[in-house]
Structure 1
């Protein structure tokens, strides 16, 4: 019996975001471009391009490439917390320091110093390990934030339940909220969950689409001399 493939955010996010923008901006013609190169030589997984009601070009960027790495980090932390290496290093410090001091000072003093040192090392190891994990999260969020767009989305193939009572997931939500990044998840039930909406950037006179290298498309001939839909999506 073949193993069933786990749902991937890439299989659901495109339809979800198109429906989202049709409802939020009454966009009638949304172009979806996948694996688009920026002029800064980076690649975004998908762009959603359309004209708003005031005929302004709108660009939304979706990043899913970091989904696997993020899902592994959050799931592992949810299940296991920090690594067990902290206990090993603290134990080795306890034995080593106690052994070195027992010939110099009274055994009770040696034991007290060894316990204090082991505890301090355990706390230090925990703090540094958590800081390292949060640093990885920050790097992934900074990558999403580096793409120029009116709205930016991070897509993760993970159950939304993983975010409950998860300090690392809470850190991710806080960072994305600060940077105005939206978060979409999809779990085993193949249901897209909008964890957080993005903060839209509406910079006057700035066309974010111009930051990307889009493949040229044949222009449809307008009828009765009128402009066709998405006429403002051309790259300068």
Structure 2
């Protein structure tokens, strides 16, 4: 059987989420369109907008991925951020330690300070990897969806992409497979995740809600406002 195309995933996600929000908020008027550009000329795969109890002009952005963009689903480490947060505190501690070692010979002071910096860097790195690892992971598709401002954000992926992702070799500090890493990062960043197959669409996790007026970030804002506000 042929794999799902990105266009299929995109349109299925739009249709599913339109019905999902219509039922959830008992809506009559919903704007729903694929390929909507922001004012900074970033193009969302889908945009849904409506008036809800939570937010006037409630916006939902969507990014769709298929097997052809498999690499966009794989986690990698934000080396710069991780190094900054592990080394900088260690250097501060190392400099402060000079005060306590000042009565020693200079070479003992230098040796102990360097040893302390290395030990603290190791300790902080292990702590961050174990307790805060999701904050230091990057996924291209997550970066993309954040380019489309909205009260709620969704990533839709084809199920066959996930099957491939689990088999794909990719270095990581942890033993979790790529799919678990992907889901974990989506959850930590409050992004909804749809798993789409040819026969059904499943919600892996729902997005968090961010209050604010995000509709002005899109070039079709006036058209959308007229549609959902009867203007």
TM-score bracket, shorter-length normalisation: 0.5 to 0.7
2:180 to 163, 167, 170: 170
Q: Which runs of 4+ in 1 moved over 2 A?
A: 3-8, 66-75, 159-166, 215-219
Tell me the alpha carbon deviations over residues 47-82 of structure 1, each in whole angstroms, 9 at most, x when there is no partner. Answer: 001111477110000111x4335546779xxxxxxx
Map 1:1-236 onto structure 2 (within 5 A).
Answer: 6=4, 8-53=8-53, 56-64=56-64, 66-71=65-70, 138-159=139-160, 162=163, 167-187=177-197, 189-203=198-212, 207-214=213-220, 217=223, 230-231=228-229
Q: Distance in 1 between matches of 2:18 and 2:221?
A: 20
TM-score by length of 2: 0.58
Task: Give aligned pairs, total.
Answer: 160
| CA distance in 2 between partners of 1:218 and 1:38 (Å) | 13
Equivalent pair of 1:184/1:192 in contact (CA under 8 Å): yes
Displacement of 1:140: 2.1
Q: CA deviation at 1:38?
A: 0.8
The alpha carbon displacement at 1:231 in A equals 1.5
SS of residue matched to 1:60: strand
Distance 2:40 2:202 in 1: 31
Q: 1:39 to 1:159 in 2, by over 3 A?
A: same
Tell me the SS of whatever aligns to 2:145. Answer: helix
Deviation at 1:33, TM superposition (A): 2.1
C-alpha separation in 1, matches of 2:141 and 2:73: 13
Stretches of structure 2 that go unaligned for 5 or more consecutive residues are 75-135, 167-174
- The unaligned stretches of length 5 or more in structure 1 are 76-133, 220-227
